[in-house]
Amino acid sequence: MTANPVVLGVDSSTQSCKVEVRELATGRLLARAAAPHPEAYPPVSEQHPRAWVAAFVTAAREALARCADPVGVRAIAVAAQCHGLVLLDELGEPVRPAKLWNDTTGAGELARLAQWIGWDTWLHRIGSTPTAAFTIAKLAWIAEHEPAVLDRAAAVLLPHDFLTYWLTGEAVTDRSDASGTGYFDSVAAEWIPQYLDLAAGPRDWAALLPTVLEPTEPAGTVRSGALTELGLEGADIVVAPGGGDQHAAYLGLGLDDGDQYFGIGTSGVIATSSREPVYDPAGMVDGVCDLTGGYLPLVSTLNAARVGDIAARLLGTDLAGLADLALSAAGTVGPVLVPFLDGERKPDRPHARGALADITSHTTRAELARAFVEGPLLSLMTGRDRLADCGVRLDGAAVAVGGGAKSPATLALLADLLDDEVLVLDAEEATARGVCVQAAAVAGGADVAGLVDLAKAWRPDVRLRVGPRDHGRDLSALRGRWAELAASPVLDSAVPR
């Protein structure tokens, strides 16, 4: 039987690696699989890059084994968690565990860098106001605390770069992931070695940094060692440039400028796409690049779906029980949760803690459950307000993705807050789907316009529509109360962790 040509889309997230196998000609999903990553929590959040490779190999082999008929892989693309720092030695081996996006240990180093560069200068050079999540803060921390480790580094990569390197032997990246480092000019599309000199001392940064590829420029082909480990055959399996996880998800959903992307996973994201760069002097909006040559202005929070996990534990239930409780809450405003449980990224408050307010002797378990589900959504609504304040169009459909979007309470409460319909598309793994689109475009030799057309052709159908309820609550008062609590400096005055 002739092997069916397919592409592999790889989503290497904080919690796991997920791989999809899709038919090259149609985008039809043939199989998917996942393998876990080691747990990691802020403020010191690290994973070894070799654990990502092991999970990738396991998930890819399992996904390919689940295909009903023989398949032939023609292209692969990798998306991964952004902002992480991977340092490789001259042999291409990691010199230490990777610092992840939610590692906030570099907050002090970042503050010193901001004094030297200037927040406004930094913003207008890279498109974002960096936080401790950005790669440059982690690099500065390594230079300060582990200088010998940095001296051994022959390459400075991001997580998706490392997996692409493992596949091809080529040190490359893309605009979307590079624009979250703190040392990449998102408009000129070039590295800024002067900022790296300030962060980690003068070095030959050009030799250490990956080449930034265009959206449909091939990264290379899969090397023989990776072919063996993945159980693949063929010397010409092309590898696409890949990108950041949220950026790939936006592409995979086939969204347009003005559509509202609500990502509710380990982190929370509100984003849309734009053809022009966006600059936010308040520092809430990151004006990062997308996977199609444009921009993806977004607000990304640190505390999202994991807040629900904590709530379920505290209330003695599971996630389904938490959703049922939250939906059964009466039409009252409070209590209110500010979910800065592990510090927060947007706003930039790495040492903050959460607060649960307005509890009375009449407070019920249902109201507590609703507060825990609603808190991360209120953070995202504040981010949405800031995007609008920056002149970003938000007149398209509201689409919810991520593990948190599986909760009926999350969808209902988000629709209430928006006073509009929320859509869930038929895309179980939007990020993996997005890099499948990219891989297929690269395999077919498409240009950027062809990539966009393919994403629209493969756009998933609407699986669920959730409209706002007749809830009887004063949501304006709720949002005002949340904003008042979230602005309190008391949240930053807790005993250091």
- What is the distance between the alpha carbons of residues 161 and 244, in angstroms, rounded to a whole number? 10
Of 161, 245, 280, 342, which is the active-site residue?
A: 245
Contact 373, 413 (CB under 8 A): yes
What integer pLDDT is reported at residue 163 of this predicted model? 98
431 three-state secondary structure: helix
**Range 372-399 average pLDDT:** 97
One DSSP character per residue, 41-102 reads -SSS-EE-HHHHHHHHHHHHHHHHHT-SS-EEEEEEEEEE-SS-BEEE-TTS-BSSPEEPTT
| Core vs surface per residue 69-105: b (16+ CB within 10 A) or e | eebebbbbbbbbbbbbbbbbeeeeebbbbbbbbbbbb
pLDDT in tens, 360-377: 999 999 999 999 999 999
Averaged pLDDT, 466-480: 95
Is the distance from CB of 384 to CB of 270 less than 8 angstroms?
A: yes
Q: What's residue 42's pLDDT? A: 85
Q: Does the fold of domain 254-426+467-497 match that of domain 4-246? A: yes
Query: pLDDT digits over 47-79, tens only?
Result: 999 999 999 999 999 999 999 999 999 999 999
Residue with tokens 């919810």: 400
Q: What is the pLDDT of residues 145-154, one digit of tens each?
A: 999 999 999 9
- The predicted pLDDT at position 265 comes to 86
* Torsion angle of C-alpha atoms 462, 410, 255, 11, degrees rounded to 10: -100
Q: DSSP letter string over 122-161?
A: HHHHHSS---TTSHHHHHHHHHHH-HHHHHT-SEEE-HHH
Degrees to nearest 5, angle at CA 211 with 205 and 213: 150
> What is the per-residue pLDDT across 193-219, written as a single tens digit (0 to 9) for each?
999 999 999 999 999 999 999 999 999
Q: In angstroms, how far is CA 311 from the centroid of its own chain?
A: 23
Amino acid 198: pLDDT = 98
Would you say how long the chain is, in residues?
A: 497
Instruction: Report pLDDT digits (tens) over 164-197.
Output: 999 999 999 999 999 999 999 999 999 999 999 9
Residues 6+ apart with CB under 8 A from 202: none
DSSP annotation of 344: B
Instruction: Answer whether residue 235 shows pLDDT above 90.
Output: no
Q: Is 309 helix (H, G, I), strand (E, B) or coil?
A: helix
- Position 496 pLDDT exceeds 60: no
Q: Would you say 17 and 40 are in contact if contact means Cβ atoms under 8 Å apart?
A: no
Instruction: Output b/e per residue, 180-207; b: 16+ Cβ within 10 A.
Output: bbbbbbbeeeebbbebbebbbeebebee
The domain spans of the chain are 4-246, 254-426+467-497
**Segment 417-439 mean pLDDT:** 96
Residue pLDDT, tens place only, 93-103: 999 999 999 89
Has residue 429 got a pLDDT over 70?
yes
Instruction: Look up tokens 């909760």; give the residue.
Output: 407
Bridge partners of 297, per DSSP, are 287
Mean pLDDT of 470-482: 95
pLDDT, average across residues 82-101: 97
pLDDT in tens, 317-366: 999 999 999 999 988 888 999 999 988 989 988 889 999 999 999 999 99
245 is catalytic: yes
Task: Pull the structure tokens for residue 207.
Answer: 């030799």
CATH 1.20.1250.20 at 254-426+467-497, yes or no? no
Instruction: Look at residue 494 in the predicted model and tell me its pLDDT.
Output: 54
Reported pTM: 0.91
Cα–Cα distance for residue pair 60/112, rounded to 1 Å? 43
C-alpha Rg value of the chain to the nearest Å: 22
d(CA 129, CA 346): 10
118-136: per-residue pLDDT in tens?
A: 999 999 999 999 999 999 9
pLDDT at residue 428 in the model: 86
CA 298 to CA 261: how far, in whole Å?
9
The residue among 29, 129, 27 whose CA lies nearest residue 346 is 129
Span 286-312, pLDDT tens digits: 999 999 999 999 999 989 999 999 999
> The domain 4-246 belongs to what CATH superfamily?
ATPase, nucleotide binding domain (3.30.420.40)
* Residue bearing tokens 């040559």: 293
For residue 497, what pLDDT is reported? 46
Contact 400, 264 (CB under 8 A): yes
Res. 285: pLDDT tops 70: yes
| CA dist 218 → 72, 78, 316, 458 (Å) | 19, 12, 50, 21
User: What is the arithmetic mean of pLDDT over 398-420?
Assistant: 96
